[in-house]
Structure 1
Amino acid sequence: MNSPTKLITPENAIHKPSPLAFLLDLVIYISIMFLVREIYFSQFNFITNGLFWSFVMLLTATILMRLRNVSWKEIGLFKPSNVKKSLLATIFIFAFTIISILIFQTLKDQLGLQLSPDMSNETAVSKFGDLSGNWKLFFTIMPFIWLQSALEEILDRGFLINWIEKALSSTWFATIFAVLAQALIFGFRHSYDISERSITVAIIGLAMGIGYVAFGRNLWPLIFVHCLLNTMSMLDRV
C-alpha cells in the first residue's frame, strides 16, 4: 500500500524571499538611515542623538530581519567556536585597518590630493566637550562610545553587507560590491562630503568589511577593533 502523499501547505512550505524583496528592504533602510539624521534634539548632546539614530536603525533592521526570517546570530552575533582564532582575527583586522589608513595618508601626501581639511579635533569639542586633561569626562562618555561602536558594526557590516548580497542574489560579485558599498555609505554618512575624514572612515569601513567576510562573518572581532580605534581616537584628545 502506497504511503499517502504529504500535501504542501502554507504552514510547512518554506518561503524564500526574492532578491527584489531585499532590494526593497535596502531602499527603506537607507532612506530611514539618512532621514532620521535630520532629527536632532538640541536639548541633548551629540552622543545621545547619535545613539537615538542608531537605535532607530537597529529597530528598523530587526523588523526587516523578522520579515525575512533572518536572525542576528545568522549575520554574526554568535558565540565564537574558537577563542584563539577570534583573537587572531581581531589582531589582524586592527593591524590591517591601521596599515590601510597609513597607506592612504602616504598616498595623499605624495599625490598632493586636495581634500577638505580634517576638522575632527574642532568637531570633537563641539560633540563631546573639551576632553583636554578631563579624565572624568573621558571615562563618563566612553561606555556610550563603545556602545555606538558596537551598533555601527552590527548594522553597517552585519546588516548592510548581508542585505546587499541578498539583493544581488548572493554571488561573489555581490559580496565584493556589498563590502565596497557599505564602506562608501559608512564614510559619507560621517561627514556628508568628500573629505579626508570621510575617506578615512570609508577605509576603516572597507577594512572592517573585508575582515568580516574573511574571518567567518563573526562580528565580535570587528566590535572589539572598532571600540579600540575609537578609544585611541578619544585618548588622543585628552
Structure 2
Amino acid sequence: MRRGVHLLEEVEFHPMNSRRPLEYLRWLTDYKREDDRLAEGAHELTEGMSIRSREIDLVGAFYAVGITGHPQFKVVTLWDCHGGWDGGWRQMLEIYDDVKENLFLSDIDDLRFSAFSRPLGAAPGSPALADVLAEGYAAPLYLFESAEVRPGAALDYLEAVREERAPMLADHGHRLVGLYEVQFCDTEVVTLWGTDIDAHLGLQRARDAALGMDDEVEADHRLVSWRKRAREFLSGPWRENLLSPYPGSKLAPRD
C-alpha cells in the first residue's frame, strides 16, 4: 500500500470582506464537483481554472472558526492526491512544466490575499481519506492541529498521538481523521479530528476540571498529562483551531 499524500492549504482574505471567503468556497466546490465526473487519469491545465483532475480530490473545504484563534477571515482546504506521489502529486507538478502562460491566469485573481500550502504525508496508522469518505463519515466541526516538533521527531510524535491521545479524545467525542507529517521539512506535523459543539465544550470543561477550575463536571487528568507528554516532542509553537466544513464539501454533513 502506498503512502497517502495530501495537500493542506490555508487561504486568507484582506481587507476584511466577509463575502470573499464565501465566493471562494462556492467557486472551489463547484468546479471540483465537475472534476469528479472526469475519466480516471484525465487531467489538464486550463485557462482560469488551474488543473482539472479527479485524482486531485478536494476532500475538505472549511471556514475557519475565527474565535478559536484563526485570522479572520480564513479558509482551509484538504486535498487527497489519489495514487500518492505518482498520481495526483505528479499531476500537480506537471502544471509547472515549461511555465505555461495559463499557469498565471485564474478566475479567482484578486479574491485571495494570501495562500500557504503544506504537502502532507500520512503517518502510519492514519486513516485513509478514501476510506473515511466511503464510510460516509462527516462531522459538523473539525479540530485542526499544527505543531512544530524537534527535528526528526515528527513520526514519533504522531505515533504517540495515535497510541496515547486518540483513545482519550475518542472518549470525549473526537474521531481521528488524519495524522500527517509535513513533507520537505522535518519539524512540523498536522492532525485532524472530527467533533461537534457538545464534544468540544465537554473536552474543554473536563480539562478545566483537571486543572481545578471547574467543580461541576468530572475531571479527566489524562488531558493534562498529555500536554506534558507532548512537550517531549515539541520544540516550538503548538496550536489547535476549529474548522466548520462548507456545505457540499465531502467531509461536510449532508442534509
Query: Which band: TM-score by shorter chain?
Result: under 0.3
Task: Give TM-score, length-normalised by structure 1.
Answer: 0.25
Task: Give TM-score, length-normalised by structure 2.
Answer: 0.24
Higher relative contact order (CA 8 A, sep 6+): 1
Q: Which entry has the higher C-alpha Rg, 1 or 2? A: 1
Larger proportion of strand:
2
